[in-house]
Amino acid sequence: MLRKISLALFLFATLVTALQAAEPTKEKKALYIGIDGTRFDALTKANTPNLDKLLADGIYADDCLILGERYQKNDTISGPGWSTILTGVWADKHGVHDNSFKGRNYEAYPHLFTLLKRQQPNARTASFVTWAPVEDYIVSGADVHEKAEDQTHDYVKFDATMGAAAAKELANPELDCIFVYFGQVDVAGHKYGFHPTVPQYLTAIENVDTHVGALLEALAHRKTRAQEDWIIVVTSDHGGKGTGHGGGHKVPEILNSFLIVSGDSAERGKFAEQTYLVDPCATVLTHLGVKIEDDWKLDGAPRGLKATKK
pLDDT digits (tens, 9 = 90+) for 206-260: 999 999 999 999 999 999 999 999 999 999 999 999 999 999 999 999 999 999 9
Helix, strand, coil percentages for the chain (3-state, nearest 5) = 45, 20, 40
Tell whether the model's pLDDT for residue 5 goes beyond 80: no
Question: Does pTM surpass 0.85?
Answer: yes
Tell whether the model's pLDDT for residue 13 goes beyond 90: no
Q: Choose between 151 and 101: higher pLDDT.
A: 101
Amino acid identity of residue 234, one-letter, is V
Per-residue model confidence as pLDDT tens digits over 68-83 = 999 999 999 999 999 9
Looking at residue 1, what is its pLDDT? 54
Tell whether the model's pLDDT for residue 184 goes beyond 50: yes
With vertex at residue 69, the alpha carbon angle to CA 68 and CA 70, rounded to the nearest 5 degrees, is 95
Average pLDDT of the segment spanning 292-301: 98
Round to whole Å and give the CA distance between 299 and 90. 7
Name the band, by pLDDT with cuts 50, 70 and 90, for residue 19: very low
* 3-state class (DSSP) for residue 42: helix
Query: Torsions phi, psi of 126, nearest 5?
Result: -150, 150
Name the band, by pLDDT with cuts 50, 70 and 90, for residue 6: low
Tell whether the model's pLDDT for residue 16 goes beyond 50: no
Set out the domains of the chain in order of their start, with CATH numbers: 28-308 (3.40.720.10)
Round to whole Å and give the CA distance between 148 and 157. 9
Quick one: which of 98, 90, 159, 168 has its CA closest to 131?
Answer: 159
Name the band, by pLDDT with cuts 50, 70 and 90, for residue 137: very high
| Surface-to-core class of residue 301, CB atoms within 10 Å of its CB (0-12 exposed, 13-18 middle, 19+ buried) | middle
When the pLDDT of each residue in the chain is averaged and rounded to a whole number, the result is 93
Rg (CA), the chain: 21
Cα–Cα separations (whole angstroms), residue 302 to 6, 60, 231, 305: 43, 13, 12, 7
